[in-house]
Structure 1
């Protein structure tokens, strides 16, 4: 099960996106939210901090927190799975493994996974859907230490992140993301039902445990119009950095 503050944050995101807490309105107080969710004020405060870091809500000292935006976006200040992001926006996430096989790590993958070149990895090609429509093609290489647990999962597992937490207690704690645009290749076009050469948003990501042990590295390709990565800067937080293309 997800950590309690994450569940509360998801509930609040959904309430905001559905208009139950309209833009410009004030959220209930911490005490009211704690009573409504049967949680401690500290847990509620963690949930609120996540929404504030995303720019969905703001606050003034001594005043209730105000809803600033109803746009569901992928935050770079916390690590959320595709399924968690979909649920927060009131969408239904799905997934289907296309291929899964053992392979040897390429040089760049080996460096990211902190293993020797040629070491074994589990290579998985997975199509992800939103409300039944394919929107994301994941090409993931899993480190050998976690690969057996991944292979035990059903091919249509909705959330690998959640399933590995439930079965192994594994927490994807840290992530690095590199975002650019690419043209759809033959496999991309086939699985995402697009024409070859269509523009795709690519996110190359590597995730690790809280101790820094690499779990996976992936090349994720989103179909046009399926997701928006929103950057909200403030004087309190600006977690992104800008780098030159490779």
Structure 2
């Protein structure tokens, strides 16, 4: 076993056994090199392994912090049904059930921000222009931050439903305000992809800067104009979620298989 893997294995064991508690800091690079009798490069490689596993987060000038590694992976069933909670309105895809309680970490933030290229493409606007963004960081009740949720509203949506752009949108949230303004019923299309977290997302989700994330994007299309008026992106650490879909047989895949008559 390479020396850096030995160091990583020992630190991993100490973290799992509680010697280095969740939220605490590991010793400094200098202290670790002395403890293990190795060079800084070996320590850096070992910490990279632990960071990729979601055990630690390395922040320049702030130290090496132990993350909450006990978070369970959530299964998201992929279907075509949209649920609604009478108290909260439409429910996002990460919820286990329509009435599952979720927490918001910090206050939701509404501001005009340069729209990323991917979102601009879906929204039908020029990348980099200022578009109204609603940002929330949420999780199942009692768990650490699970997802960064960014909703980008078109100028048309803000004009027709100004309450959808407010920090407090009222019962049912911004989607109810959009539909009440004449754009309902909305229809949605979902896109999913894997990528690396941005530095800002990593900070909000408390993961390493190069952590893989899964991004689910919904586009909301107006029934009135048939244009996309809102795009919502949910960014989730890849090690906290797996997607589950029930597969169905097409008519061509019936069983038992009919025998094929050999050609003469």
TM-score when scaled to structure 2? 0.49
1:206-221 to 2 correspondences below 5 Å: 206-211=219-224, 212-221=226-235
1:168-183 to 2 correspondences below 5 Å: 168=181, 171=184, 173-183=186-196
Pairing 1:143–2:154 present: yes
Q: Which moved more, 1:224-233 or 1:212-221?
A: 224-233
For the residue of structure 1 that corresponds to 2:244, the secondary structure is: coil
**Equivalence for 1:204:** 217
Pairing 1:187–2:187 present: no
Identify which of 56, 65, 76 aligns with 2:79. 76
Pair 79,126 (structure 1): closer, same or farther in 2 beyond 3 Å? same
**Equivalence for 1:230:** 244
1:18-167 to 2 correspondences below 5 Å: 73-80=76-83, 81-83=90-92, 86=95, 88=97, 91-95=100-104, 97-103=107-113, 105=115, 109-115=119-125, 121-133=131-143, 134-147=145-158, 148-154=162-168, 160=173, 163-164=176-177
Work out whether residues 83 and 93 of structure 1, in 8 Å CA contact, stay in contact via their aligned partners in 2: no
Structure 1, unmatched stretches of 5+, are 1-70, 238-246
Structure 2, unmatched stretches of 5+, are 1-73, 84-89, 252-264
**Equivalence for 1:4:** none
| 2: CA distance, partners of 1:223 / 1:162 | 25
**Paired residue total:** 166
1:235, CA displacement in angstroms? 3.1
Alignment RMSD (CA, Å): 3.7
Cα distance per residue 1:203-235 (max 9 Å; x no partner): 233221335231212332112454432211213
1:162, CA displacement in angstroms? 5.7
Q: Please identify the structure whose Cα radius of gyration is greater.
A: 2
